Amino acid sequence: MDRRSPLGTFLTARRARLSPDDVGLPRYGDRRRVPGLRREEVALLAGVSAGYYTRLEQGQQTNASPEVLDAIATALHLTAAERDHVHVLSANGHRTRPATPGAEKVSADLRTLLTTMAHVPALVVGRRNDVLAWNRTGHALLAAHLDFTAPDAPGTRPNLSRLVFLDAPTRALYRDWQAKARAVVGNLRILTARNPGDPYLAALIAELASRSPEFVALWDAHTVAPCGRDVHALAHPAVGELTVTQQTFDVPTEPHRSLVTFTAEPGSPSAAALTALHRTRDGAGPGAMCGRDEGARVPCASTP
């Protein structure tokens, strides 16, 4: 019986996207029962037996060496991120019990950093893409329609993956929502591989699959793409059109924590928009009023 493991499922998906022409193999006719390369062709390119590769895809082979995995990754033209993903999935197959995830907290040092860099929209995310903390400007940029204190309790923490697919204001924020959705799913694939057996992640994926056909299509594509640097065009309800560079940094002293920042080209209209959001004192939405100027309330986004 064919009971594919996560590794086998991923290899099958990557094999299906290649043709003999892509890897320099003859076709020997055009009749193919499956899309992409045959298992025998991948085995030939990787220098392993067809039977071995078949057992690996079907989850019957669990002791592939790093060298064999690298050879298969090369045969399938995997990216660096996809190659790492293969090694993580293979390592997960050797675990007798999934690791039990602990409660996620943000250290005082990270909270101080967020406060200190108040002029830069920033947030801290955890192993499941939950927002664990954000500064006022980050909240104003991404989710002013949510309570600023929402990340403080596990039961109310916003999840970036859920927001992108299921939250209408977040979806409207991104001019190229499809590109953002692909990036979110690509990163979510990595998170699930790094945290096998995490019931929260399993429930999140099940929820997204049940409520978003677009998520299902992207998830089934098995795209793997880590968050690093992305440029997003935004349509913000308070400050209008702007373009930001999103960068994600791992926190070495706090495993599974990432610092996410948003910046704009200095002197650009987008930088001016971020400055206006920084001057918003409580992350309020469009038309919000902050402070007093000789008895008159001043719009947050235009406070001098």
CB atoms within 10 A of CB 78: 20
| 65 lies in the same domain as 181 | no
pLDDT value of residue 225: 86
Please state, for a pLDDT cut of 70, what percent of the chain lies above it.
Answer: 86
How far is it, in rounded angstroms, from Cα 32 to Cα 16? 11
Residue 102 lies in a domain: no
User: Which of 37, 61, 92 delimits the end of a domain?
Assistant: 92
Question: Is a pLDDT exceeding 70 seen at residue 19?
Answer: yes
Residue 191 lies in a domain: yes
For the segment 14-20, the average pLDDT, to the nearest whole number, is 90
How are beta strands 240-250 and 229-236 bridged, if at all?
antiparallel
Residue 103 lies in a domain: no
Residue 99 lies in a domain: no
pLDDT by residue (tens digit) across 168-199?
999 999 999 999 999 999 999 999 998 888 99
Integer angstrom CA distances of residue 195 from 132, 198, 265, 267: 17, 6, 36, 41
Closest CA to 138 of 55, 296, 146: 146
- Give residue 105's identity as a one-letter amino acid code: K
pLDDT value of residue 258: 95
pLDDT value of residue 283: 41
Residue 101 lies in a domain: no
Residue 100 lies in a domain: no
| 85 lies in the same domain as 116 | no
User: Average pLDDT, whole number, for the chain?
Assistant: 86
Q: What is the pTM of this model?
A: 0.79
For the segment 128-157, the average pLDDT, to the nearest whole number, is 95
User: Which of 65, 92, 119 delimits the end of a domain?
Assistant: 92
The CATH number that applies at residue 161 is: 3.30.450.180
Domain that holds residue 125: 108-302
pLDDT value of residue 99: 57
Residue 10 lies in a domain: yes
How far is it, in rounded angstroms, from Cα 128 to Cα 188? 8
| 205 lies in the same domain as 259 | yes
How far is it, in rounded angstroms, from Cα 129 to Cα 205? 12
Higher confidence at residue 77 or residue 1? 77
Residue 230 lies in a domain: yes
| 207 lies in the same domain as 83 | no
Q: Where are the beta strands (DSSP E) in 136-206?
A: none
| 86 lies in the same domain as 129 | no
How are beta strands 131-134 and 122-125 bridged, if at all?
antiparallel
pLDDT by residue (tens digit) across 60-109?
887 789 999 999 999 999 999 999 999 989 887 666 555 566 788 899 99
The CATH number that applies at residue 43 is: 1.10.260.40
Closest CA to 4 of 56, 43, 80, 78: 56
| 18 lies in the same domain as 128 | no
pLDDT by residue (tens digit) across 245-269?
999 999 988 888 999 999 999 999 9
Integer angstrom CA distances of residue 115 from 92, 138, 247, 265: 38, 11, 18, 22
| 236 lies in the same domain as 267 | yes
| 126 lies in the same domain as 77 | no
pLDDT value of residue 235: 98
pLDDT value of residue 28: 64
pLDDT by residue (tens digit) across 200-243?
999 999 999 999 999 999 999 998 988 889 999 999 999 999 99
| 69 lies in the same domain as 115 | no
| 128 lies in the same domain as 85 | no
How far is it, in rounded angstroms, from Cα 227 to Cα 223? 13
pLDDT value of residue 217: 96
How far is it, in rounded angstroms, from Cα 140 to Cα 284? 7
- The domain tally of the chain equals 2
Buried b (16+ CB within 10 A) or exposed e, 218-236: bbeebbbbbbeeeebebeb
| 191 lies in the same domain as 222 | yes
